[in-house]
């Protein structure tokens, strides 16, 4: 009789515990799902801001790396020094504001790559080193920055490296890579 008594308690406990356990697991699952959905919504909202910020940040680099012929081909640029314009953009208050936004909404890897690139520029002081070795370092840092932007835009598993990120707009990117 005692044995049946324990089995009754165990069956009653199971009858009560099962719905409580299911309810608890459902609540945990709902919270996790809601958190993931919220994260995805936030990422979607940030994506457009990031694209705009990345475009502004990259504009001076695009100007600097254009060929002179391509620069002069545009009627608006005839007679203008592309280096002067690109550096003017980089030193402007607007550029600094956009860089500040980058530090707020960019992924950690993008911000670190941007920091590395600009720390390299700052280390040059007022007289930049124009050696081939220094140019190779700068190109590698720019490629790393572009690669991290690519990853932050949803291509986390990319197989490209920083030099391959430069090949489409630099005719001698492979030369610099192999130098």
Q: How far apart are CA 63 and CA 102, in angstroms?
A: 20
- For 33, counting Cβ atoms within 10 Å of its Cβ (0-12 exposed, 13-18 middle, 19+ buried), the class is exposed
Out of 76-80, 95-99, 169-173, give the one with best mean pLDDT: 95-99
Tell whether the torsion through CA atoms of 35, 111, 98 and 143 is positive or negative.
Answer: negative
Q: Residue 66 has what DSSP assignment?
A: S
- pLDDT higher for 36 or 1? 36
Using the predicted structure, report yes or no on whether residue 55 has a pLDDT greater than 80.
yes
pLDDT tens sequence across 61-83: 888 888 888 888 888 888 888 88
Nearest Cα residue to 160 out of 136, 143, 142, 135: 143
Question: Is the pTM higher than 0.75?
Answer: no
Q: Residue 74 has what DSSP assignment?
A: S
pLDDT tens sequence across 31-52: 999 999 998 888 888 888 899 9
Q: Work out the average pLDDT over 18-42.
A: 89
Q: Work out the average pLDDT over 152-161.
A: 88
Q: Work out the average pLDDT over 135-143.
A: 87
Q: Would you state the pLDDT for residue 155?
A: 84
């Amino acid at each position: 009789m005692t044995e049946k008594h324990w089995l009754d308690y165990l069956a009653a406990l199971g009858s009560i515990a099962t719905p409580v356990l299911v309810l608890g697991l459902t609540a945990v699952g709902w919270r996790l799902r809601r958190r993931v959905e919220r994260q995805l919504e936030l990422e979607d909202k940030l994506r457009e801001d990031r694209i705009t910020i990345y475009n502004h940040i990259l504009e001076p680099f695009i100007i600097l790396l254009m060929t002179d012929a391509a620069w002069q081909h545009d009627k608006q640029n005839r007679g203008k020094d592309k280096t002067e314009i690109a550096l003017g953009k980089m030193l402007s208050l607007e550029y600094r504001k956009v860089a500040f936004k980058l530090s707020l909404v960019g992924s950690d890897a993008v911000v670190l790559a941007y920091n590395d690139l600009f720390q390299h520029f700052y280390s040059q002081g007022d007289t930049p080193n124009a050696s081939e070795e220094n140019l190779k370092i700068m190109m590698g840092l720019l490629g790393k920055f572009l690669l991290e932007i690519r990853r932050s835009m949803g291509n986390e598993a990319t197989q490209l490296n920083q030099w391959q990120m430069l090949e489409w707009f630099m005719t001698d990117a492979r030369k610099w890579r192999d130098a």
